[in-house]
Amino acid sequence: MSARNASSPPVVAIVGATGAVGVELIHCLEQRRFPLSRLRLFASARSAGKTLPFQGAQVTVEELKEDSFAGVDIALFSAGSGTSKKFAPLAVQAGATVVDNSSAFRMDPKVPLVVPEINPQAIRGNPGIIANPNCCAIISITPLWPIHQANRIERLQMATYQAASGAGAAAMEELRESTRAYLEGREYRNTVLPHPYAFNLFSHNTKVDPESGYNEEELKVIQETRKIFDDSQIRVAATCIRVPVLRAHAMAITFECSRPISPEDVRAILAKAPGVKLVDDPQRNYYPMPKDASGNDPILVGRIRRDLSDPSGRSISLFVAGDQLLKGAALNAVQIAELL
């Protein structure tokens, strides 16, 4: 951080302030009463001059430039990998600590990849940049960490159901407009995502690695889980699917532990886990849903049951839902800033 008085509130900047995650970053700072002396908002020249509300006032968005970070203590980046690669090092040179929401630095061995409920210690002695993990990684493994501590998870398999919010505000608008057109019987040409979105689902729209057959989103979940858990031996497989939900991702997860574990064991662990809320009511058939996770901080966990395909009793299946814009992005970044 810059050489300010450690007891004085920091100057905080948000890069990509007008995007879907940027707006949530502002909201999180306000809702959590983050102690800052000044908030600065940056975006592209196209968005410069707009104003966004914060603490009862309007903050003007500034154009992001190479000299924008003078006097900034904490810079929260959510503007894509290209912007992060160019401007995050400049922010660090100016004395700021960067919390970056893109994939630019996540797998850099010198950069901490942090979920505060799992590995807050990783930010000690950080080099100036701290990476915010992939949204699916955060939402899937935060509830699994206390289980992993009690009974090591050796294998993890998941299928994700990812909302439009993961592709940004433009994708959310495309889902709204294409759904409206579908219901009205009008033709709609998708421009943001590669396939029609209304009443459809499709494999995540990232490039497929020809060698492994996994797409970039799936490989991120695999690699980031190992880094955050500090466990290179954990076996992870993922299938990532884009579904016509506005915000909040959901995942079907099956994990295998080193020793037998029961659904009752898992419920008891998760009942005390930070950042997690049990939603597990078989009587009402009520389990985690995006509609309940949207706009809320906790990751919802339910459908906790034995994996009947594993006679050893070491495997559990469950279902989770978490707000991609909050715990999957903005909230996790603000929690990291709180640690700083």
Sorting pLDDT into bands at 50, 70 and 90, what band is 125?
confident
Collect all residues with Cβ–Cβ distance below 8 Å to 136 and sequence separation of at least 6: 158, 160, 162, 217, 220, 221, 238, 240, 249, 251, 328
CATH 3.30.360.10 is right for the domain spanning 139-324: yes
SS3 of 82, please? helix
CA distances from residue 238 to 132, 137, 159 in whole angstroms, order as listed = 20, 10, 6
Count of residues making up the chain: 340
Q: Which two tokens stand for residue 138?
A: 């955060």
Neighbours of 120 (CB within 10 A): 15
Q: Do 43 and 66 contact (CB within 8 A), yes or no?
A: no
Active site residue 135: yes
Closest C-alpha to 148, from 182, 117, 107: 117
Q: Residues 27, 148, 204, 249: which is the catalytic one?
A: 249
pLDDT at residue 292, rounded to an integer? 98
In the sheet with 51-54, reading across from the earlier edge strand, the strands are 51-54, 57-63, 38-43, 11-15, 74-77, 97-100, 129-131
**DSSP bridge pairs for 23:** none
Percent helix, strand and coil across the chain, each rounded to 5?
30, 25, 45
| Tens-place pLDDT, residues 49-73 | 999 999 999 999 999 999 999 999 9
| Tens-place pLDDT, residues 189-234 | 999 999 999 999 999 999 999 999 999 999 999 999 999 999 999 9
Closest C-alpha to 1, from 133, 91, 78: 91
CATH code for the structural domain at 11-104: 3.40.50.720
User: CA-to-CA distance for 208 and 179, rounded, in angstroms?
Assistant: 27
Closest C-alpha to 327, from 32, 17, 9: 32
| Tens-place pLDDT, residues 127-182 | 699 999 999 999 999 999 999 999 999 999 999 999 999 998 899 999 999 999 99
Active site residue 249: yes
Round to the nearest angstrom and report the end-to-end CA distance of the chain. Answer: 9
Query: DSSP alpha helices (H): ranges in the chain?
Result: 20-31, 81-93, 135-141, 145-150, 169-184, 216-229, 263-271, 290-293, 331-339
Q: Residues 135, 136, 240, 257: which is the catalytic one?
A: 135
User: CA-to-CA distance for 233 and 327, rounded, in angstroms?
Assistant: 26
| Tens-place pLDDT, residues 87-106 | 999 999 999 999 999 999 99
The dihedral built from the CA positions of residue 167, 111, 136 and 53, taken in this order, carries a sign that is: negative
Sorting pLDDT into bands at 50, 70 and 90, what band is 5?
low
| Tens-place pLDDT, residues 42-54 | 999 999 999 999 9
DSSP 273-324: -TTEEE--BTTTTB---HHHHTT-SSEEEEEEEE-TT-TTS-EEEEEEEE-T
Instruction: Kindly state the DSSP code that residue 136 receives in the 8-state scheme.
Output: H
pLDDT at residue 8, rounded to an integer? 87
Q: How do the domains of the chain map onto residue ranges?
A: 11-104, 139-324
Q: Do 240 and 215 contact (CB within 8 A), yes or no?
A: yes
Q: What's the angle, vertex CA 97, arms to CA 53 and CA 72, rounded to 5?
A: 50
| Tens-place pLDDT, residues 16-44 | 999 999 999 999 999 999 999 999 999 99
Question: What is the pTM for the complete model shown?
Answer: 0.93
- Check if 11-104 and 139-324 are the same fold: no
Instruction: Kindly state the DSSP code that residue 238 receives in the 8-state scheme.
Output: E
Sorting pLDDT into bands at 50, 70 and 90, what band is 3?
very low
Neighbours of 245 (CB within 10 A): 24
